[in-house]
């Protein structure tokens, strides 16, 4: 499956903690877009799409949520709950997010600028696209 957990270095002392995140160093691509997802209710599911070539790294800044990742052959759940552990999601990975804790905040770092044509929003089309690759 085209995903992995990224462990960020934490620098801390009695004043608190700091986590630096740098493109092409901590993140395996140039960061071209950053957005946040917040105020999602626990019983709501988000995502439900894949990307053709876009790569993403998701950081749970506050709270928690669970990702269901699917490569067309197998699926796996990944639970995010700490800002020092991020989820890298490569291209052609179907994803959905659920079980948001109240007050959760996700930060998403993307390898490309927004392009609606990059999205695959139909699961059957996603599976068909994998067969033609």
Active-site position among 49, 51, 62, 98: 49
Residue 72's SS3 state is: coil
Please state, in angstroms and rounded to a whole number, the distance separating the CA atoms of residues 10 and 118. 33
Task: Select from 66, 65, 49 the least CA-distant residue to 101.
Answer: 65
- CA pseudo-torsion sign 125, 131, 132, 133: positive
Q: Is 3 a catalytic residue?
A: no
CA 7 to chain centre: 14
Catalytic amino acids? 49
């Amino acid at each position: 499956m085209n995903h992995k957990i990224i462990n960020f270095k934490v620098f801390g002392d009695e004043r608190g903690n700091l986590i630096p995140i740098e493109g092409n160093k901590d993140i395996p691509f140039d960061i071209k877009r950053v957005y946040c997802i917040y105020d999602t209710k626990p019983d709501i599911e988000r995502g439900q799409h894949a990307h053709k070539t876009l790569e993403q790294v998701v950081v749970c800044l506050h709270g928690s949520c669970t990702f269901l990742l699917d490569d067309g052959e197998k699926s796996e759940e990944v639970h995010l709950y700490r800002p020092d552990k991020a989820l890298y999601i490569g291209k052609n990975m179907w994803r959905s997010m659920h079980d948001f804790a109240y007050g959760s905040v996700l930060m998403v770092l993307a390898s490309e600028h927004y392009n609606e044509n990059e999205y695959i929003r139909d699961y059957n089309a996603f599976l068909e696209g994998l067969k033609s690759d």
